[in-house]
């Protein structure tokens, strides 16, 4: 499998995890000039923007630790663009940014709500 196929596999696993918790995915791999969002979901009235990460080795830290400040800012900017595109006021729309990470040596994914 190439990197894109592996990424899609873990995005699907993250979507399944969130779905079991009652969170509905409304978009995958949203791209704009601001950046990319792996999953866009709804948790009742709250938009949930999800970054999915996978690490084959943890010698340099966990998968969740790879979400840099720069990546956080890109996801936030892309989320604002998405909400504006939907005709929503970013100041009056409930939202959060989650991370779902998969580490090679850990059997369960790590879901961090309101990660940034």
Q: What average pLDDT does range 27-41 have in this prediction? A: 97
Strand partners, 28: 39
Q: Are 56 and 72 in contact (CB under 8 A)?
A: no
- pLDDT band at residue 11 using 50, 70 and 90 as cut-offs: very high
Which of 23, 44, 8 lies closest to 98 in space, CA to CA?
A: 23
Q: What is the pTM of this model?
A: 0.93
Strands in 33-107 per DSSP E: 35-43, 46-55, 95-103
Domain ranges of the chain: 3-112
- Classify domain 3-112 by CATH number: 3.40.1350.10
Instruction: Kindly tell me the sign of the dihedral angle through the C-alpha atoms of 6, 113, 75, 59.
Output: negative
3-state secondary structure of 6: helix
Strand partners, 34: none
Strands in the chain per DSSP E: 24-32, 35-43, 46-55, 95-103, 110-112
What are 24's two structure tokens? Answer: 């509905």
Per-residue pLDDT tens for 36-65? 999 999 999 999 999 999 988 767 788 999
């Amino acid at each position: 499998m190439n990197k894109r196929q592996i990424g899609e596999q873990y995005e699907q696993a993250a979507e399944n995890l969130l779905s079991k918790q009652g969170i509905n995915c409304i978009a995958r791999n949203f791209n704009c000039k601001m950046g990319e969002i792996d999953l866009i979901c709804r948790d009742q009235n709250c938009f949930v923007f999800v970054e999915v990460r996978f690490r084959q080795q943890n010698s340099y830290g966990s998968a969740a630790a790879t979400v840099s400040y720069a990546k956080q800012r890109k996801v936030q900017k892309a989320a604002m663009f998405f909400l504006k595109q939907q005709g929503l006021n970013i100041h009056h729309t409930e939202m959060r940014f989650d991370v779902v990470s998969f580490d090679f040596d850990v059997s369960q994914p790590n879901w961090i709500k309101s990660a940034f």
